[in-house]
Amino acid sequence: MRRLIYHIDVNSAYLSWEATEQLKNGAEQDIRKIPSIIGGDTSQRKGVVLAKSVPAKAFGIHTGEPVADALKKCPSLQSFSPNFSLYKKYSRQFIAVLKKYAPVVEQVSIDEAYLDMSGLHYFYENEIEAAQYIQKEIREELGFTVNVGVSSNKLLAKMASDFEKPDKIHTLFPEEIERKMWPLPIRNLFFTGASAANKLHALGIKTIGDLAVSDKLFIQAHLKSQGETLWNYANGIDESPVKAVRDEQKGYGNSITLGKDVTDYEQAARVLRQLSETVARRLRQDNLFARTIDVEIKDCYFHKRSHQRNLDFSTNTTDDLYRNSCRLFQEFWDGTPLRLLGIRCTKLTREKREEKMCERRNLNLSQEKNGQLQFCLEQEKIPEQTAVEYQEAKGQNKERHKKMEQLDLALDKIKNKYGEESVGRAGAFFLEK
């Protein structure tokens, strides 16, 4: 029996969900039918384009570009700030519909999923009838549209769903590859980034078909393991299963593109505090602890850098993430104005490991003012420190950590009951306008 896989993708999800909500609340205009984006405040340089309408796309506006650049292309462009709590609501409704039609649903992002329909097509007139039912139910009951790709594996289903949008169903079975997929530019092949595409262009490979008929070993010699993967994809080869339960996350992170460039440490610390709050809360929700913290920055010249620290303990407290991310930031920031800051936690574990005090390298929080942390880092052992003093300091450290944990739990309870914006820590705010 041939496998039957659906890839279902919400059309311009964030914008569609914003439009749907507006219409439910009495809006007369559907923002999907005018030049519009989800991306932030158009009155100032703030954020990037997260989603765009079809009319906005006609102006050459693309996902990921700065809002300021999009406005230059279309001065009448309407922009709306992202509402992630709303997106989560619609995402849950979207997945709930999919689970009515397939026993195995793999959600790969907030707005897309794979369905294993193998064997179920016998209950329908043809292999796409169920896709039509899914589209109809989502359109009529939820108020937005989806694309459906139909094939015998995940790769080809994904490629098919991207052919033409919105509200379309496309098939891409192995016998259709040469006609439907091979003429496409190599950049359109799944997993082919700009760097890989440039390397392939240099080798004379312009289309997916060019890659498919190339010598596999030759491609591997130039692109290593990625070359093998891309060659397989170009030939429609993909054996990955549809998984009902996603693999456990390897890391938790959050980043923000800033409304204005960060030029001093005090500003950065405010942002790091808020990012620490968000990431730590997600860890606590999943009962996980992190042992590695990574701080990422992007400067005003779009240069990216990162710096990480391996901890000798595991943590999910906001305070720990904040203290360590501030220290990391101080260690590698050279003062160049920044437009993006991010925090990521990895080496996740379900076991809590207590922080140890080190005689030779004892990090103490000495001052916190206006979101700015100052640290006293004692590089060498202090001979005068007695065993009693050391134990007292150790006890104080444990007591402080316990209080921070209690504070985190209290804030989590309030936010769970009254919403994410109901309460915050003193100083936990983004840059002032």
Task: Provide the pLDDT for residue 2.
Answer: 79
Q: What strands, in cross-sheet order, belong to the sheet with 338-349?
A: 251-262, 338-349, 289-299, 304-315
> pLDDT per residue over 159-193, tens digit each?
999 999 999 999 999 999 999 999 999 999 998 98
Residue 54, phi then psi, degrees to nearest 5: -60, -45
Closest by Cα among 244, 10, 3, 241 to 117? 3
Show the beta-strand stretches assigned E in 220-360: 251-262, 289-299, 304-315, 338-349
Contact of 259 with 431, CB cutoff 8 Å:
yes
As a whole number of angstroms, the distance between CA 195 and CA 189 comes to 13
Q: Say whether pLDDT at 419 is over 80.
A: no
The fold of 181-246 is DNA polymerase; domain 1 (1.10.150)
Mean predicted confidence (pLDDT) in 384-404: 54
Confidence of residue 412 (pLDDT cuts 50, 70, 90): low
Query: What is the mean pLDDT of the segment spanning 217-229?
Result: 93
Identity (one letter) of the amino acid at 169? I
Does 123 or 359 have the greater pLDDT score? 123
Q: Is 28 known to be catalytic? A: no
pLDDT, tens digit, 9 for 90 and up, residues 299-356: 887 788 899 999 988 999 999 999 999 999 999 998 999 988 999 999 998 888 776 5
Residue 376's pLDDT band, with cuts at 50, 70 and 90, is very low
Q: Are 91 and 110 in contact (CB under 8 A)?
A: yes
Choice among 28, 65, 106, 112 that is catalytic: 112
Extract the tokens encoding 379.
């590089």
pTM of the model: 0.62
Position 372 scores a pLDDT of 42
Instruction: Retrieve residue 110's tokens.
Output: 């907030």
Identify whether the C-beta of residue 13 lies closer than 8 Å to the C-beta of residue 107. Answer: no
- In what helix (H) or strand (E) does residue 283 lie, and over which residues does it extend? helix 265-285
DSSP per-residue codes, 372-410 = EEEEEEE-S--TT--HHHHHHHHHHHHHHHHHHHHHHHH
Per-domain boundaries in the chain: 1-174, 181-246, 251-418
Domain 251-418 has CATH 3.30.1490.100: yes
CATH number of this structure's domain 1-174? 3.30.70.270
Does residue 386 surpass a pLDDT of 80?
no
More confident residue, 85 or 137: 137
**Mean pLDDT value across the chain:** 83
What is d(CA 230, CA 193) in angstroms, rounded to the nearest whole number?
A: 11
Least trusted range by pLDDT, from 137-151, 281-295, 344-358: 344-358
Mean pLDDT value of segment 398-424: 60
| In the predicted structure, residue 151 carries a pLDDT above the cut 90 | yes
Give the model's pLDDT for residue 64: 81
Sheet containing 146-151: order of strands:
104-109, 112-116, 5-10, 146-151, 169-171
E strands in 276-332? 289-299, 304-315
Which tokens is 264 given?
A: 């001093």
Reported confidence tier of residue 258, pLDDT bands at 50, 70, 90: confident
1-174 matches 181-246 in fold: no
